[in-house]
Structures are given as structure tokens and as C-alpha cells.
Amino acid sequence: MTAAIAAPIGIIVSSDSHIQYWCQAYGPHEIAVPPSPQDYAFGQFVQVALPGPAAEAGARLIGVIYDTVLVNPAFGSLGPRLSTSDEQRAVFSPDYLTERATLLKILALGTLDAASNHVRHGVPDLALELGALVAPLADAEVRAFHVFADEGPPGGDQPYLHMGYLPQMISERSGLLQQAALHVLERLRRLLPEHQRMLGVVQRNLAWKLSVETAG
């Protein structure tokens, strides 16, 4: 794993498909500085190092958190342990705590090569590895992932705003993915005020589809 990814929020534990992964967020005692719930909020961008030599070069998969599931093995089993407090449990039965988990669903949006500043939106070539570290994306990186120039003609060398993953996100059946798209748009509007108008058009368009047309 590369050092470029700082303050991870969790690790990849499973996947549903080539682009949909499960990440388990670190619990309170698993690492020195556990992540705060803000770090894995709904619609948050995350990055995961890609496997193999690409990783050394700084290539990362960029994804977005679009669902959160809390896992509690004790749920439904009405055993005596329920009466003990968490503090007592931490002392007498430390293993038990780790069985409770926060699982995050992540959708792959594209790749970002930190070294060459090369960005690609869409389905990445490589899949992630189990155990790969998941870290949040800083504002500057979010910007770098969205505003860049196409390679050569016809796009020219002027950087412009890209959201090439949006159709994929919207067309997925999961209602949460579509909601996540709205969150992403909202977030980008705050982050990229110069693209406020254009994002507004797309956001209103999507909001209309999700609210008015769905209800109508």
C-alpha cells in the first residue's frame, strides 16, 4: 500500500461486482486514530489504492459511499450480555466488540493517477484487492478528479468539468445511488462555485426525475 493514502477509514472486505465494494469502517480500537463518522458520510468520495505495479505509480480507484449498514451479531438474541454495559464488556470480553461493524457500500467512479495527474471516469480496468485501505478524498483531490483537460483533440487542452460517472450512477436501480448522485452534485456545487450554473441544471434535472416524476 502506498503512503499517499493517509488516515484510512477502513478496509475493503467484500464486493458485489466489479464496481461495487464493501468497506468495513475501522472501529474505536482498531487503529490509533479512528475515523469520525463525518469521514464516511453518505455521498463522501473515497480513494483506494489499485493493486499491482499501478499502485506504486500512485494509481487509485475513486469511489463514492452510497450506503451504510450497521452489523450487530447480538441483534435478536436476547442473552444476558445485553445487560452489561459497554465499559464492562470492553474489559471482560474484548473480542465481542469487534464483531459489531459499520459496513460501507462503495461505487467505483473512475481512476486518478496522482503521479501523471491522469483521470479516467467510468468502469476501472482493475478490481480492488481485499484488505485494501480506503481513505477519504480531500477537497483538492475532488477538484482534481472533476476538473481536467481531455487528452489531445477533440476536447482541446482546456480543463473543464467532468462527471462521466453520472449516467452510470443514475441508471443503477438502487434508489440510494441516485440519491447519492444528488448529494455529490450538491457537494460539487459548494466546492466548485465557478460551475454552479451547469451543475444546477444537471441537479435540477435529476431532482425532477427523482421527485416529481417518481411521485407523479
Q: What residues make contact with other proteins under the rule CB under 8 A?
A: 121-122, 154-155, 160-167, 197-198, 200-202, 204-205, 208
Question: Please, which residue, 95 or 213, has the CB nearer to other proteins?
Answer: 213
State the minimum distance, in angstroms, from the CB of residue 159 to other proteins: 12
Question: Please, which residue, 167 or 175, has the CB nearer to other proteins?
Answer: 167
Q: Enter the C-alpha cell of residue 1.
A: 500500500
State the minimum distance, in angstroms, from the CB of residue 215 to other proteins: 17
> What is the crossing angle of helices 175-191 and 196-207, to 10°?
160
Measured at the CA of 86, the angle between CA 10 and CA 9, to 5 degrees, comes to: 10
Start-to-end C-alpha separation, the chain = 49
Question: Please, which residue, 100 or 209, has the CB nearer to other proteins?
Answer: 209
* Contact between residue 162 and residue 148 where contact means Cβ atoms under 8 Å apart: yes
Question: Please, which residue, 81 or 204, has the CB nearer to other proteins?
Answer: 204
Helix (H, G, I), strand (E, B) or coil at 128: coil
State the minimum distance, in angstroms, from the CB of residue 200 to other proteins: 7
Question: Please, which residue, 60 or 146, has the CB nearer to other proteins?
Answer: 146
Alpha carbon 178 to its chain's center: 14
- Strands 118-121, 101-113: pairing is antiparallel
State the minimum distance, in angstroms, from the CB of residue 201 to other proteins: 5
Question: Please, which residue, 28 or 159, has the CB nearer to other proteins?
Answer: 159
Q: What is the b/e burial string over 101-129, where b = at least 16 CB atoms within 10 angstroms of the residue's CB? A: bbbbbbbbbbbbebeeeebbbeebeebbe
Give 108's strand partners: 63
State the minimum distance, in angstroms, from the CB of residue 62 to other proteins: 14
State the minimum distance, in angstroms, from the CB of residue 109 to other proteins: 11
